[in-house]
Structure 1
Amino acid sequence: MERNLMPHGVLAEMTAKTAAKSPSSSSAVAPKVSDYYGCNVFGLETMKLLLPKETYRRVQDAIQKGERLDLEAANAVASAMKTWAMQKGATHYCHWFQPLTGTTAEKHDAFIDLTSDGSVLETFTGQMLAQAEPDASSFPSGGLRATFEARGYTAWDPTSPAFILETPGGATLCVPTCFVSYTGHALDTKTPLLRSIEVLNKAALGILEYFKSDAKKVFSTLGAEQEYFLIDNEYFKARPDLLLSGRTLFGAASPKGQQLEDHYFGAIKDRVFTFMTDFEAEAFKLGIPLKTRHNEVAPHQFECAPIFEEANVAVDHNQLVMDVMKRVATRHGLAALLYEKPFAGVNGSGKHNNWSLGTDTGKNLLSPGATPQENLQFLIVLVSIVKAVHDHGLLLRASIASSGNDHRLGANEAPPAIMSVFLGAQLTQVLEDLEKGVTTKALDPEWIPFGIDKIPPVLKDNTDRNRTSPFAFTGNKFEFRAVGAAFNNAVPVATLNTIVAGQLIETKKEIDAELKNGKPFKDAVVAVLRRLYKQSKGVCFEGNNYSAEWVKEAKKRGLPNEKTTPAALKGFALKKSVELFDRLRVLTPEESHSRYHILLEKYAKDIDIEAKLVCEMTTTLFVPAAADYQAQLGSSLSAAKAAGIKTPAQLALLRGVAQKAESALAGAAALEAARAKADALDDVEAKAAAYCENVKPHFEKIRASVDALELLLPSASWPVPKYREMLFLM
């Protein structure tokens, strides 16, 4: 039998306080967020209260230093975690992981175990906490294992706290974990992210050594701005395309869309506000620091944004945000849409990744400092990031490629498919002057001088916001604006961490070489930065990324512009990408190629589902509705003719309906033939290309005919909710 390792009475007191202050408790005045924030999280504060001091110290070392927990300590943590979770109503636990499906996965196990007399005893050991064995055979592997090789392992990630997920049916203890195959290959997105965080830590600490920093740890931070749509759930359920593909494959534009620009930051509707309040309360209980909420540009489009956190925890929290958002929306009779472009003709949804580098001493490495040394350090990091994006633009593009994001990128509402860097006019001037070897004149009193002849001054808040840039410096962070709303942030963040770590290592090598040749430190750094900026300045662009002129200019500069997912995903298969991931031990070559394979396969499946939906909805919903209306018009025209009334406009209407219905039906037949041909291909690259180039182009032709029918048929006869209903009625 397990020992209860909690201090006497502590847990009961915590539970009572939580119950009294939970937002779900009946009270005329809502409780302060600080009273219940993180109450469903087994975080450091809870562990400090419930664990023996020595065990708590070991857990801290595991989190901060990456040290292994021995079985004794794991048993103590598991025992406390189980008792805490059961007091909160949990009967089951699960290892919560992020397979290569883009979503999360969980297998629930009860705490119970049989005793010798046939009764049951609640148990949760350190072994159960640390490792589990879900069946890996039905998850994507990209060739990392054969289908019959089912064994896979989940392993506890102590750097991301366990939590209680409450649902109407009960509560479950969720333990964030990694997911690997029997051979040790990563089958998830968390494992490469953790590897990238570690290699970035080592690379950045190497730079900080020059400046005698007392930092022991460097980590990437993330703040993900989550955009989404809300529509009435009855509309959602009545649209097969939204239900099964995430986007409307048909729909005539509403007379009013976003052209009046009256939704952005507008007053929030009561029903939406009630949802947001409920959703935020659930997020706060899970320790998710949501800070901002507001209306977005498109009708019924919204955004929530958190305070920055360490990247691993921030990624987990964003996965929970999307899950909790959908659950809470359903409770309110709403549907939360996270697809990048659920409605044509209005803005799609992104997830701007605000990324920076922090230290365990509280420093932001992307903030210009108050001393010459700090600013020199800032420039090393900044220029290294610019060089990394320049050298690995296609890989960065691959990290945010999907069938959904293809509709959004380059649509004059989101960044184009060209990966460029925006630094702002003043910071660009600093780097241009650095390259030329001249000193920037400090005309603005807000400029901070370096105190070094060869290093010009830098302004602390030295950039405007360029909303057209995919990767913009915004004062003390980079905003990766090209990430899609439905994405698991682990993929773009791990990619960004890796390319920056690789370049920081190379930058240090070059500085060391200059020092070895006898140059003073400041001169060595200036020489390297000047060289790196000259090599990579072609990726920097301060203008309108939406413009046709930029597309031409980017081509001259040799920047990749891959507008489709099959073409963009080749960034994962590039020799230099595979070698970089392998050299830094983030992904083995087998793991890199498996991801390329999986994402191509997913793209083909996405388009296949959409193609089947287009054909089915055309033949079973829209054409039958048109046929019924044709019959009505035919009867009306016959009656008019018998009465001697001329009706040329109605006759033209009948012809128009018949022609559009025939066009849609013929288009559906052509689409099905192209789909079947693409589906028969075995090679995954050829299949993805066929769906992109031969299947997908049929969609718009059929949609044009069906959307025209929508404007010809009586509204009462149209078989699915219209845009003007979904986007304006709630």
Structure 2
Amino acid sequence: MNGNKKVTEIFGTSVFNESVMRERLPKDTYKALKKTIDFGYPLQPAVADVVASAMKDWAIEKGATHYTHWFQPMTGKTAEKHDSFIEPTTDGRVIMDFSGKQLIQGEPDASSFPSGGLRATFEARGYTAWDCTSPAFIRDETLFIPTAFCSYTGEALDKKTPLLRSMEAINVQALRVLRLFGDEDTTRVLTTVGPEQEYFIVDKKLFQQRKDLIFAGRTLFGARPPKGQEMEDHYFGSIKERINEFMKQIDEELWKLGVLSKTKHNEVAPAQHEMAPIFSTTNIATDHNQLVMDVMIRVANRLDLACLLHEKPFAGVNGSGKHNNWSLSTNKGQNLLNPGDTPHENTQFLTFLAAIIAAVDEYAPLLRMSAANAGNDHRLGANEAPPAIISIFLGEQLTDIVNQIEAGELKACKDPGVLDIGVQTLPHFVKDVTDRNRTSPFAFTGNKFEFRMVGSSQSISGANIVLNTIVAEQLKRIADELEQADDFNGKLKEIITRLVKNHSRVVFDGDGYSDEWVEEAARRGLPNIKTTVEALTYFDEPASVELFTTHGVFTEGEIMARQEIMFEEYAKTINIEALTMIEMAKKEIIPACMDYATTLADSINTIRAASSAADISVQEDLLVKVSSLTAQAQAKLNGLLQVLEETVEIEEMEEKAAAYKDKVYAAMTELRKPCDELEGLVSEEYWPIPSYIDLLFRV
């Protein structure tokens, strides 16, 4: 691909986007579909038939032979069942056909997807429903139709349905607030997201030699290499040729699919990298991020590489996250989180800011829960990602405004000033109004908030469902008060002041990694929820249930089902890791150490037979160490087997997840210690699996 012109030519060529619809649909059909997309009007069957026919013709012209309803079950991955366009004719031939009914509704088997008890195993029927707000696209000769997924009885079995519900909830409440400010033109408020994606790339041949990477996505054993990330030379460093080719092919594939892939660079850890897109509407951004992860895995495999999306593939170096840059925009293009040049006078911005501060403080446990999984427990609070304590970074200017509001004297805002670097030939420029704080879980970065907790392997839907809903709740409370107020300005000032005073404890601009902050957060009464198992307990609390059901995002049954699924996913994840460790220790590591010990013993006996005067103390000391550690490894392996056998028998899922956290994972840690120490002693020719040196530095 050569030049910018080529990029503009290929962008979106595999997408049934607005320009394609405008070109191929009759004007009345196009207008009707746009009303559904832009304003949520019901889609009429006659419109669906016309759209389906045009979509089929376009797809066939692009080489498609099949279509699939592409959905996001509770696995966190995507699912697809492919059907061809063929329909038989009476003369034994076929035609290519695709009806409106086939477009808007599918029927995949729902029995084998996680349902958390919403569906019995024998109850197989489920439905997919076309999400016309997210464009269809073509991959591998198949037309992909983004859809929601629900059960026969109407419960959401996916991650998209509640996301769409949460987007509608915040739209309704934000419009109420805007109307009170005299805005009659805005007809829709949208949440927008730009999810940065971190990942590791390793050589495929080395990947295939490690059962832990294959089954668990992370290394369960591994001694630290002599050099890690301490020289800080990988971050933003020169990109290696193999990685550059990988990134190039990712961009090309994503651009064809309409994904706004913008930024690529080396991340902090060796073999770690990042891709960042331009903002999109939240449900489209969620679909696109699922595509990003899938494309990364596919392209890596094609280039004899392996893409690792686990939150912590390697001990001792940074893990990977997914920074969820979240904002609010109107259909008129106004960013509601843009403070303007004089934010202290921008009461509309201050209203939304106060709502967000209150939402994050009041519902911090739910935000923590939205980023909870077994992989992320290794990363959060480890001086490489935000701490498990939820706080908000506002920057110097907005923090000063918050302090003025608390003091009851909001008069001015700080000037960001001009940056003079001290070199005449370099330009002077106006500084941003805020610095960045990489230790903050929820940081304001100019006209958006960056929620930095989300794990690299996770769907961003969970975080945005919570964000949209908790902010919708605060906006609802504000609108309820203001709509009853006789003195709008007086009541608004009272509300903003009250919210800031009551919730400013969550604002913190300092070092979130410091021990002092942990102590200070405790004094402020901020929760420090360190593990997934603890975080999940907040999902079904009465306040959480009331929040989600009030705004129609989840039913109580859907909440309980999702909590059950998340506990089960955690338990299954640790179980797979434990079984993999047992397999590797029993069949690879311990036998290799025994072989090496035998070689040492043979060497000692051979040298002793040759000369009684020879000094064999080195071999003897090494033999004793290796033999002792091997015995320790076997003992720890036996301990893991026993505790795993006991834990598997537990039936209640929350109790089971807690046992995996407290007992099984602890036994896994104990097994790893002697094995990693043995790696530092055993000769490379005997060690059975690729080392961290191989994986991190040989790409």
Question: What TM-score do you get using the length of structure 1 for normalisation?
Answer: 0.92
Question: In 2, distance between residues paired with 1:493 and 1:374?
Answer: 29
Instruction: Give the Å deviation of 1:440.
Output: 4.1
Q: Does 1:322 align with 2:282?
A: no
Moved more, 540-549 or 309-318: 540-549
**Of 605, 611, 622, which aligns to 1:653?**
622
The corresponding residue for 2:143 is: 173
Question: In 2, distance between residues paired with 1:531 and 1:472?
Answer: 22
Instruction: Give the Å deviation of 1:523.
Output: 2.0
Instruction: Give the Å deviation of 1:369.
Output: 3.1
Q: Secondary structure at the match of 1:42?
A: coil
Question: In 2, distance between residues paired with 1:409 and 1:136?
Answer: 34
Q: Does 1:254 align with 2:221?
A: no
Paired letter, 2:186: A
Q: How much is the aligned-residue C-alpha RMSD, in angstroms? A: 1.5
**Of 518, 523, 531, which aligns to 1:564?**
531
User: Do the aligned residues in 2 keep the contact of 1:431 with 1:533 (CA within 8 Å)?
Assistant: yes
**Of 225, 231, 236, which aligns to 1:265?**
236
Moved more, 545-554 or 464-473: 545-554
**Of 588, 594, 599, which aligns to 2:566?**
599
Q: Does 1:225 align with 2:196?
A: yes
Q: Does 1:212 align with 2:186?
A: no
Question: In 2, distance between residues paired with 1:395 and 1:92?
Answer: 40
The corresponding residue for 2:456 is: 485
Instruction: Give the Å deviation of 1:113.
Output: 1.4
Q: Deviations over 1:233-279 (max 9, x none)?
A: 11111110001001000000110111110000000001111111111
Q: How does 1:105-120 map to 2 (within 5 A)?
A: 105-120=79-94
Q: Secondary structure at the match of 2:388?
A: coil
Question: In 2, distance between residues paired with 1:30 and 1:423?
Answer: 37
Instruction: Give the Å deviation of 1:666.
Output: 0.9
Q: Secondary structure at the match of 1:45?
A: helix
Question: In 2, distance between residues paired with 1:656 and 1:30?
Answer: 61
Instruction: Give the Å deviation of 1:425.
Output: 2.3
Question: In 1, distance between residues paired with 2:441 and 2:635?
Answer: 40
The corresponding residue for 1:405 is: 376
Instruction: Give the Å deviation of 1:29.
Output: 6.3
Moved more, 153-162 or 364-373: 364-373
Paired letter, 2:608: K
Instruction: Give the Å deviation of 1:31.
Output: 5.2
Instruction: Give the Å deviation of 1:648.
Output: 1.2
Question: In 2, distance between residues paired with 1:606 and 1:196?
Answer: 28
The corresponding residue for 2:68 is: 94
The corresponding residue for 2:43 is: 69
Question: In 1, distance between residues paired with 2:481 and 2:181?
Answer: 16
Instruction: Give the Å deviation of 1:284.
Output: 0.1
User: Do the aligned residues in 2 keep the contact of 1:396 with 1:571 (CA within 8 Å)?
Assistant: no
Runs of 5+ unmatched residues, structure 1: 1-22, 448-458
The corresponding residue for 2:650 is: 681
Instruction: Give the Å deviation of 1:573.
Output: 1.4
User: Do the aligned residues in 1 keep the contact of 2:344 with 2:411 (CA within 8 Å)?
Assistant: no
Instruction: Give the Å deviation of 1:161.
Output: 0.3
Question: In 1, distance between residues paired with 2:125 and 2:67?
Answer: 20
Question: In 2, distance between residues paired with 1:191 and 1:220?
Answer: 15
Question: In 2, distance between residues paired with 1:621 and 1:131?
Answer: 50
Question: In 1, distance between residues paired with 2:329 and 2:683?
Answer: 59
The corresponding residue for 2:120 is: 146
Question: In 2, distance between residues paired with 1:539 and 1:379?
Answer: 16
Q: Secondary structure at the match of 2:539?
A: helix
User: Do the aligned residues in 2 keep the contact of 1:460 with 1:475 (CA within 8 Å)?
Assistant: no
Q: Deviations over 1:316-349 (max 9, x none)?
A: 0000000011111111111111000000100000
Relative to structure 1, the CA distance from residue 442 to residue 140 in structure 2 (aligned partners, 3 Å threshold; closer, same or farther) is closer
Q: Secondary structure at the match of 2:65?
A: strand
Relative to structure 1, the CA distance from residue 613 to residue 118 in structure 2 (aligned partners, 3 Å threshold; closer, same or farther) is same
**Of 3, 6, 10, which aligns to 1:36?**
10
Question: What TM-score do you get using the length of structure 2 for normalisation?
Answer: 0.96
Question: In 1, distance between residues paired with 2:253 and 2:15?
Answer: 12
The corresponding residue for 1:164 is: 138
Instruction: Give the Å deviation of 1:64.
Output: 0.3
Paired letter, 1:152: G
The corresponding residue for 2:157 is: 187
Moved more, 548-557 or 245-254: 548-557
The corresponding residue for 1:451 is: none
Question: In 2, distance between residues paired with 1:70 and 1:358?
Answer: 28
User: Do the aligned residues in 1 keep the contact of 2:68 with 2:142 (CA within 8 Å)?
Assistant: yes
Paired letter, 2:537: K
Question: In 2, distance between residues paired with 1:377 and 1:601?
Answer: 43
Paired letter, 1:415: P
Q: How many residues align?
A: 685
Instruction: Give the Å deviation of 1:444.
Output: 2.7
The corresponding residue for 2:680 is: 711
Q: How does 1:531-542 map to 2 (within 5 A)?
A: 531-542=498-509
Paired letter, 2:153: T
User: Do the aligned residues in 2 keep the contact of 1:141 with 1:598 (CA within 8 Å)?
Assistant: yes
Instruction: Give the Å deviation of 1:698.
Output: 1.2
Q: Secondary structure at the match of 1:293?
A: strand
Instruction: Give the Å deviation of 1:725.
Output: 0.9
Q: Does 1:666 align with 2:635?
A: yes
Q: Does 1:500 align with 2:471?
A: yes
Q: Does 1:352 align with 2:352?
A: no
Paired letter, 1:93: Y
Paired letter, 1:565: T
Q: How does 1:265-664 map to 2 (within 5 A)?
A: 265-369=236-340, 375-442=346-413, 444=415, 461-513=432-484, 515-516=485-486, 519=487, 521-642=488-609, 643-644=611-612, 645-664=614-633
Instruction: Give the Å deviation of 1:522.
Output: 2.1
Q: Deviations over 1:440-487 (max 9, x none)?
A: 44563769xxxxxxxxxxx99422111000001111100000111011
The corresponding residue for 2:424 is: none
Paired letter, 2:543: K
Paired letter, 1:185: E
Q: Secondary structure at the match of 2:685?
A: helix
